[in-house]
Structure 1
Amino acid sequence: MFHKPNALLGFGTALLLLGVVLPHALPVAGWVRGVLLGFGGALYLGAFVLWLQPDGCDASTLGLRRRYLREFVPAMIAYVMLLSISLVLLKRIEEPAMRALVALLPVAPIAMVLRAIIRYIRDADELQRQIELEAVSIATALVSLLYMAGGFLQLAGVIGVPAGVAMIWMFPLVCMIYGLVKIVVARRFQ
């Protein structure tokens, strides 16, 4: 039986290989390699989280999961594309108003991702909704604690993380920790 985690691991491995091997065989821009490595790494992490999940961790209906993927995947693809375009254009644009507009290009697809997540949680059954909301609450609290601890270390001069980097990584960090916390929360309901 070919399970979803195996498929994701295989797909993630293929993208990782494309990101590492393809640039050496063909002339590929560095940012393309980065995008491929990012996709491969994200799929790999997603497969790992999916593999760790207990069987009842995502007990939503097939229709709900399909709708979620129909909304989530195109928005994430648009995000990656607009982020890449934004990064290239920001190197060429000087005017502050245009720089602000170009810098905010990737925000609209992330808003669509959030819409897909909210609709998924809203339309899930009560148990699934409880698992999702408990996991996102704990993840948000943990990342907030981590961010605050980082702020204290920054003020003490122990670490030096640029503010923009810290801000950009907040949402992805919440998503990653949410995925891990969801495994623990779902196991309680088995």
Structure 2
Amino acid sequence: MGKVKDEVSGQKPTKPVKGKPGGGSVGALAQFVANFFSTTLYKPMQGRHARLYTAIGLGMIAAGAVWQIYERSLDLEAAARFAIPGAVAGLLAWAIFRVVHYPQFAEFLIATEAEMNKVSWTSRDDLYRSTIVVLATVLLLALYLFVVDWFWLFLLRMLGVLQFSGGGGFGSTS
């Protein structure tokens, strides 16, 4: 066990409450706008995979949006048909780049990657064996339910409870 202190412990001093920098939602918006026009990278060597895959996912969404803009602008002249989607693509690419370097979001992605590195992933062989077990179980259960369903259909037809010839759709009386 441990030693027991004879002295009376005093209260611990409380930490001062930290307010949000910038003073609330207006400050947060100002911070976001300032970050949007900044060229600095926030902790560039941390959370690289999480940032990369997040940027790829957002880029795919942005590519779909740019494609829709291009499809809607086919009736415009050639310069505008390519300039408008190109400008939107450039703006969205910059926005995605800045979002993954926004300090609060980057900290979240860094923490996410750190937690994912702590996960013990199953091996390929274990995953293969588990998948085979699940698929075999599903197939056997489907076969069992088919046999039970067929048995009850046969029994109820023999007793005269179900009286259809089965020529039409399932459960039809034609």
Same fold (TM > 0.5): no
Please, what TM-score do these two structures have when normalized by structure 1? 0.32
Q: Comparing both chains, which one has the higher relative contact order based on Cα–Cα distances under 8 Å and sequence gaps of 6 or more?
A: 1
Please, what TM-score do these two structures have when normalized by structure 2? 0.34
Where is the helix percentage greater, Structure 1 or Structure 2? 1
In terms of Rg, which structure is larger?
A: 2
